[in-house]
Amino acid sequence: MAEQPSYNPFQARACESSICRKVEVPEVRVTMQSCIVGQDRTLLNRRAKHRVLTIQEKLSIMNAIQHGAKKSVLAWKKGLPLPTVCGTWTAREKALNGAPSNLNCCRLRGSSYPDTEEALMRGPKNARAQDLPVSGLLLTEKAQ
């Protein structure tokens, strides 16, 4: 009878490729720094694209941490680096105080001319309340 090779469950079997290498490790969690681990246990040796979080995503991260979720687990589930999650939690006061009406925007920045912006927003609201048409010419006149 032929002798079968011994099987070590902690030994990783890898197939080399130009883009990635697939690691098959049964019941062993492989963690590598500076690698992205996909659901099919594919390790990609390239840097993730820079992603800007929306205000809604930041608020959901803050809400999860406030309800007891660990930052590291939350970062892993959302596919974010841990410093991004920690930075979002640190800057929570800024995000909560300046939360805009549109939660899909990515930045909280004020206007250079807040009084002009407020007047521009008040004009069309009043016109719509009186069932008047709102045009670009009307807004241009109000701005000047």
Could you tell me if residue 7 is inside a domain?
no
Whether 65 and 89 map to the same domain: the answer is: yes
Longest Cα–Cα distance of the chain, Å, equals 95
| CB hemisphere CA count around 140 (13 angstroms) | 3
pTM: 0.45
Could you tell me if residue 92 is inside a domain?
yes
Segments forming the whole domain that contains residue 22:
12-47
Whether 94 and 56 map to the same domain: the answer is: yes
Could you tell me if residue 6 is inside a domain?
no
Task: Find out whether 62 and 87 touch, Cβ atoms under 8 Å.
Answer: no
| SS3 state at 20 | strand
Residues 53-110 pLDDT 10s: 888 888 889 999 999 989 988 888 888 888 889 998 998 888 777 666 666 666 666 6
